[in-house]
Amino acid sequence: MTTAAIILGGAQVWGDHSLETVCPRLLLPVANAPLVHYTVEWLRSAGIQSAVLCANHGTRLLRARLGTASTLSLDLQYYEDRLPRGPAGCARDAATVCPADTYVVVESALLPSFDLAELLAAHGRSRAAATIAVAAPDRGDELESSEYPVGVYVFSSSALERVPGVGYRDIKEGLVPDLHRAGQSIGMFIVSAAPPRVDGLAAYLRAQAWMLDRLARFGTPRPGYVQDGQVHRHSTAQIAAGARLLGQVMVGARARIEEGAIVMGPTTIGDDCVLGAGCAVGRAVLMAGSRVGNGARVEQCLVATGSRVPDRVLVYGTIYLEAGALALAAG
């Protein structure tokens, strides 16, 4: 029995403050690694060696940045959804690119953290056509009164073959009801907590904090990084003696933090960033090559690749994308 993965990486851009205006979601940095890095690690932890990444307008950029097996240690193929076909439609089409007996289908917005091997084992024991990973609702969550899907599914190849070859098809509202009406067995795998989901700026910053906390408590420094308490900094980063880093902070390669700057965690500073003298950055993400001017304040923000916050400017609670920076990010 062979198992492959299908990563649903397509997303639509809605408005000027969508995360997808910065870059394809799978390339968004989380603790200075692209979001897809964590999905790939999770898949490989369960022994999965082949995957298809489904995307739409960002396929070319994803292919250029991620490559294939040589960079991810995974046999990665790509499927471009041009119509769109919807989650089930994409999964069905991707399965034709990478034949297997069983497919793990995972939404790109997730930071999966539960044991995938246990999910696959449960699916195998049940001999179900589909197994849905679900989480119990938080006691204070009024929107969820019962278990709800977290965005990870396991399907038999025959289940995906039921999806029509044309038109839009959802998983939760299309494929799963179709399987139920056909008398196919559908299992549930309960996870202790829903994985963090990156579906907006606030959720992205929460996911960033979650990952920095995991690295501080359980992780080991990545190659080139050293850990000093709650701070992870690259060995090539330059931090002035009078700069202060408070809480969980990650500082990327060749980044420079100048005299009098204050960084309050959880904050991630990307490669080649510059934080000017006397600036203050808190609960933010600075993508590679961005700059915060002298005396500026940046709080609860995502500063896009190559963007420059001017001196003594306050930027709060937004995606900061300077004119011209988007071309740099896509280059």
For the chain, give every domain's residue range. 3-191, 201-330
Note the helical H segments in the chain: 35-45, 59-66, 69-72, 86-97, 116-126, 157-160, 176-181, 201-217, 325-330
Topology match between the domains 3-191 and 201-330:
no
Query: What confidence score (pLDDT) does residue 276 get?
Result: 98
By CB atoms closer than 10 A (0-12, 13-18, 19+), residue 16 is: exposed
Identify the architecture of domain 201-330 in CATH: 3 Solenoid (2.160)
Strand 249-251 to strand 244-246: parallel, antiparallel, or no bridges (unpaired)? unpaired
Task: Please give the Cα distance from 162 to 158 (Å, whole number).
Answer: 7
- Per-residue pLDDT of 8-40, as tens digits, reads 986 554 444 578 788 888 889 999 999 988 999
pLDDT (tens place) for every residue of the chain, 331 residues total: 899 999 998 655 444 457 878 888 888 999 999 998 899 999 999 999 999 998 876 677 777 777 654 456 788 888 888 778 899 999 999 999 999 999 999 998 999 989 999 999 999 999 999 999 999 876 555 555 578 899 999 999 999 999 998 999 999 999 999 999 999 999 999 998 899 999 899 999 999 999 999 988 877 778 899 998 899 999 999 999 999 999 999 999 999 999 999 999 999 999 999 999 999 999 999 999 999 999 999 999 999 999 999 999 999 999 999 865 543 333 3
Identify the architecture of domain 3-191 in CATH: Alpha-Beta Complex (3.90)
